[in-house]
Amino acid sequence: MHSTSALRSLWRTQQCGSLTARALSSLTAAVFATHPAAALARAGGGQHFGGGATYSGGHGGGGLFSFWPLLLFGHGSGFGFLIFLLVVYYLYQQSQSRRASVWPGAGSWSPSLDAGPQADETSTLDAGARTAAFDPQAVARGLESIKAHDANFDEHTFMDRAETAFFKLQQAWTARSQDLARDVMSAALYERHKMQTDQLIANRQIDVLQNIVIGHARIVDAAAATPYDSIVVSFDAAMADYTIDERTKRIVDGDTGQRQFTERWTFIRRADAKTVAGQTQLASTCPSCGAPLSLENGKCAYCGAFVRSTSSDWVVDSIEQT
């Protein structure tokens, strides 16, 4: 009873708060199970635990480590030394396991990405996803279906027009005047962009887009359908994009650094439209007076003539950022 009470008191003082305490607790149970003589000695074989947490069988010291002499020298058979080796091995294994859960590169540990991915890492991952989703054969079939009812359609001419539209929309955005690009936008996209740039005007802010470069552009989807044919172009581009206060000219959002990005632009055209032979670019001059095209509410700013897209023009209907 005394030895049992003392042992319980011993474990209570250590509380398994450390790795060593947990290891010795498990190994002590193993000693009692596999070596009955050790347990019986505490009951009345000349050795016993006194009170509290101190082992009083001729070995001074208190707390958990007063149990070590029994492990090292008990019973003169070398069994204690074997237990000591098992303790060392157990502690070593626990230490290695603990290191594996703490140090990078060990086990299944993976670093935190709380800081956010780097720009080049994002570009690499996104590029892989886009490549996997891109089906050249499906694109070729879609373009052929458009050519089936429009013999003059030319993919390269279309791409020239698409890139011109790309730059016109950026110009209109910075100028906060969507009329500058009204001839290359669908009515729905025009209204959305106008609402957004009108808000910038109300806030007396300017969204500056500069150093615009198209790195790569390609058709990633095409379809002939009713009521509209559609072609999707993926633009890999870069630009500086920041917002300034129009009064102080100070930057209130973003920075002047050039950033890479990818966008998918969907161009649509009436399904019964035909490509006009020889037309290679979007209109840049007024068809009425020949002045540089600057539209205000769909009118030429110089002569007042209405300038509208023809049914053969491809216009941007949506822009998806990826």
pLDDT digits (tens, 9 = 90+) for 141-159: 999 999 999 999 999 999 9
pLDDT the model gives residue 290: 65
Cα 163 from Cα 282, distance rounded (Å)? 10
Q: Which residue has the higher pLDDT, 173 or 113?
A: 173
Confidence band, pLDDT 50/70/90 cuts, at residue 119: very low
β-partners of residue 270 are: 228
pLDDT the model gives residue 15: 44
Q: Which residue has the higher pLDDT, 81 or 33?
A: 81
Question: How do beta strands 295-296 and 299-300 pair?
Answer: antiparallel
pLDDT exceeds cutoff 90 at 171: yes
Say if residue 271 is exposed, middle or buried (CB neighbours under 10 Å; 0-12, 13-18, 19+): middle
Confidence band, pLDDT 50/70/90 cuts, at residue 302: confident
Cα 58 from Cα 156, distance rounded (Å)? 98
pLDDT, the chain, mean: 69
- In 10 A of CB 29, how many CB atoms? 10
Residue with structure tokens 């540089």? Answer: 292
CB of 247 closer than 8 Å to CB of 204:
yes
For residue 309, the Cα-to-chain-centroid distance in whole angstroms is: 40
Least confident of 39-43, 85-89, 164-168, 223-227: 39-43
Torsion angles phi and psi, residue 216, rounded to 5: -160, 140
Q: Which of the 8 DSSP states describes residue 276?
A: P
Contacts of 122 by beta carbon, 8 Å cutoff, 6+ apart: none
Per domain, the residue ranges of the chain are: 2-100, 129-321
pLDDT exceeds cutoff 50 at 75: no
Q: Which residue has the higher pLDDT, 96 or 51?
A: 96
pLDDT digits (tens, 9 = 90+) for 20-67: 445 444 444 444 444 443 333 323 333 333 333 333 334 333 344 334
Predicted TM-score (pTM) of the model is 0.55
pLDDT exceeds cutoff 50 at 186: yes
129-321 topology per CATH = Nuclear Transport Factor 2; Chain: A, (3.10.450)
Residue with structure tokens 């581009």? Answer: 237
Q: Which residue has the higher pLDDT, 90 or 104?
A: 90
CA dihedral 183, 188, 193, 196 (to 10 degrees): 150
Q: What is the DSSP string of 129-175?
A: HHHHH--HHHHHHHHHHHHTT-TT--HHHHHHHHHHHHHHHHHHHHH
pLDDT the model gives residue 277: 73
Torsion angles phi and psi, residue 68, rounded to 5: -65, -40
Cα 74 from Cα 85, distance rounded (Å)? 14
